[in-house]
Amino acid sequence: MELKRVVVTGLGALTPIGNTVSEYWDGLVSGKSGAKNITYFDASNFKTQFACELKGFNAEDFMDRKLARKMDRFAQYAIVSSEEAIADSRLIEDGVDKDRIGVIWGAGIGGLETFQNEVLGFAAGNGTPRFNPFMIPKMIPDIAPGIISIRNGFRGPNFATVSACASSANALIDGLNYIRLGHADVVVSGGSEAGVSISGIGGFNALHALSTRNDSPETASRPFDKERDGFVLGEGGGCLILEEYEHAKKRGAKIYAELIGGGLSADAHHMTAPHPEGIGAIKVMENCLRDANVDLKKIDTVNMHGTSTPLGDVAESKALYDVFGEHLYSMNINSTKSMTGHLLGAAGAVEAISSILSINNGVIPPTINHSTNDESIDQKINFTFNKAQNREVTYAMSNTFGFGGHNACVLFKKFEE
């Protein structure tokens, strides 16, 4: 069968460097760091005392206080980012068939803070079993797409994808395929995460995954730099409205880009470490290119997973050369995690928005905080260090890799009739 074309007709973002899409893009292009000392709890006894928190966010600016209290922060972020995207797309005002609109949403953990607080409350109560009646629905990752559908009356396919840091990229790929195969006209897709909490910081510290550069949080996320010492935890949400092309054309929708391919793979190597030769990363990019049926020499830019970890950055850089060969040196590579931190399950969607905006604006956001070359990383690669670069972008790829060896890759193209 002939697969249907899928385009992007709406965007929504809630990030540590901007609470709307326009603010997020401005932060990216200007090289803004979202890392600061943690304000949500007293982190003075933790190895890492900083994170990329949201700035100036109040859920009650967007929803009733009673509703906000029934949701974990990750679900609040899903509501806010999805409603910006839905409004941007004009879906509701155009009176589309809500039976044909799905919601597929990614979250790597879901309501981590809710579970943490309920357990702390139970322990403080000397074992008396007093739990919030909304504890379970606040925790489960699939409550986010559920609430989005309830608020908007969307009755199409509805579920959550969970693949650690690849979760929202997986959601985009599922959305792409549901529309391609004719199971939906529109899919509200993306992801959200709220891991900046006692258990989030403590757990990742125990894994030795986080940077401990407490004297300079703003420079702690430094992908591909020799002095990198781990990632910086971030939070937020990102949403893309994926729509079948003819459906979008019929209603005169604004089209940002076309989603032309998605790839998936597994490292099959280690619970938390990447394969040292980047085998899973190689496979996922090759699978994405094959799915899109695009010559690798047409790719202009890749927003790398690029977390700023000692092992991950080296493995992914090697994988890029294995996939693209000499063409790699004519591309722009970057890692927007240098600014936003690592949004875990929301990373794929938030970074996909950056790729789309690069296509629309002809600008590659920088990889900030680079000062010292790492001899184990190919220095002929243009990592777009420290300053945004102007470039016409027709094809933009975005990588996301998760604990457990889950890999997802999406490819966007400048829209043409």
Which amino acids are annotated catalytic?
A: 165, 305, 342
Q: Helix, strand, or coil here: 101?
A: strand
Amino acid present at 358: S
User: CB-side exposure of 69: number of CA atoms within 13 Å?
Assistant: 5
Handedness of CA 166, 167, 170, 172 (dihedral sign): negative
CA–CA gap between residue 326 and residue 378 (Å, rounded): 12
Q: What dihedral do alpha carbons 189, 177, 335, 36 form, nearest 10°?
A: 20
- Concatenated DSSP letters for 286-322? HHHHHHHT--GGG--EEE------HHHHHHHHHHHHH
CA–CA gap between residue 305 and residue 402 (Å, rounded): 9
- Could you tell me if residue 300 is left (phi over 0), alpha (psi between -120 and 50 degrees) or otherwise beta? alpha
Q: Of 3, 13, 2, which is closest to residue 241 (Cα–Cα)? A: 13
Asked whether the beta carbons of 247 and 186 are under 8 A apart, the reply is: yes
Q: Where does 210-346 have alpha helices with state H?
A: 245-250, 279-292, 310-324, 337-340
Q: Helix, strand, or coil here: 365?
A: coil
